[in-house]
Amino acid sequence: MHRDVFKAIADPTRREIINLIAHQSMNLNAVADNFDMSRPAVSKHIKILTQCGLLVIKQHGRERYCRADLKQLKEVTDWAEQYRRFWTNKLDALDTFLTNEQNTPSI
């Protein structure tokens, strides 16, 4: 099952998990130790992140380690970029309008 990356980042706990693992690979217990919730609840968040392709789980001996794979966040960046361009253009037009208004002599 492949989930929507937007659903993954919609939850603050999942965003924090991504933030933790983005800096270093961690075993599942170490990830869970950072949260005030049950290990099964953290595991559900990790499962969603894995299904979205944002985390990769690797087995090393008896331990399972999470590694971030943030390429999927490009979809979010691309989506947000269209709105950044839209608002940049609108604000530039407003700036031009206000500058012209200030430079126009009053009657």
Q: What is the pLDDT of residues 22-54, one digit of tens each?
A: 989 999 999 999 999 999 999 999 999 999 999
What is the rounded distance in angstroms from the CA atom of residue 86 to the CA atom of residue 101? 23
- Decide if 17 is inside a domain: yes
Residue 26 belongs to a domain: yes
> pLDDT (tens digit, 9 = 90+) per residue, 71-99?
988 989 999 999 999 999 999 999 999 99
| DSSP H or E stretch at residue 20 | helix 12-23
Domain that holds residue 46: 5-68
Q: CATH number for the domain including 52?
A: 1.10.10.10
Number of domains in the chain: 1
Record the pTM: 0.76
